[in-house]
Amino acid sequence: MVTRTRERRLLLLFTGLLPLLAACQGQPPAVGITTQQEAPLAWSLPEPNQPVDLSGLTRLPTPDALRQRHTTSRPDPFAPLPAVATGETATPPAETPSCPLRLTGVAVLNGQPQAFVEGEAGAGSLQPGDMGGVSTDLLAEGLQVAAVDVSGRQLILRHGQSEVVVTCRLFP
């Protein structure tokens, strides 16, 4: 009895798959497969010491022809920017002191902005509030770190409590 049930299942499966197999067969491919190889094309090379026909080729321009075509050149991208002349001159800016340190990097460490500097006293890091001679030897006495601008890549120093501010930029 078990074998008859199994035979019926296989028969049903086969009859159900037969239309699918017929539909998958489709049309034979339009291009047949050939087993014959075509003969390779023989390229003809010119004989040595024989002139070659260059009539179909365009000759390269001479250096003088190129110079004549391009009489104006583009501006040098690495040249310094020209100074902008202003018609009205205001009072000359006050002499700002130069930065006594070389700023080598800025970062935020543990939520605190840090400036990495090199100077006469050596190299190290500074953070806002550091005072020269009190909390660090990297700064001259009286200088204080007012701010470290990480996004602007600069260190801002203040001389004591005065309004004199010195800005050290990462790329001077």
Highest mean pLDDT among 19-23, 63-67, 138-142: 138-142
Is residue 109 in some structural domain? yes
Is residue 91 in some structural domain? no
Is residue 24 in some structural domain? no
The helix or strand, by DSSP H or E, that contains position 6, with its residue range, turns out to be helix 2-25
- Please tell me the distance from the alpha carbon of residue 116 to that of residue 137, in angstroms, as a whole number: 14
Q: What is the mean pLDDT of residues 112-131?
A: 89
Is residue 158 in some structural domain? yes
Task: Supply the pTM of this predicted model.
Answer: 0.43
Is residue 138 in some structural domain? yes
Is residue 43 in some structural domain? no
48: amino acid identity, one letter: P
Range of the domain at 138: 102-169
For residue 12, give the DSSP letter: H
19: amino acid identity, one letter: P
Confidence grade of residue 114 (pLDDT, cut at 50, 70, 90): very high
pLDDT of residue 26: 63
Q: Residue 170: is its pLDDT beyond 60? A: yes
Highest mean pLDDT among 29-33, 93-97, 146-150: 146-150
- Total count of domains within the chain: 1
Is residue 82 in some structural domain? no
Q: What is the mean pLDDT of the chain?
A: 77
Alpha carbon 160 to chain centroid, angstroms: 42
For residue 133, give the DSSP letter: T
In degrees and rounded to multiples of 5, residue 102 shows phi and psi of -105, 115
Is residue 89 in some structural domain? no
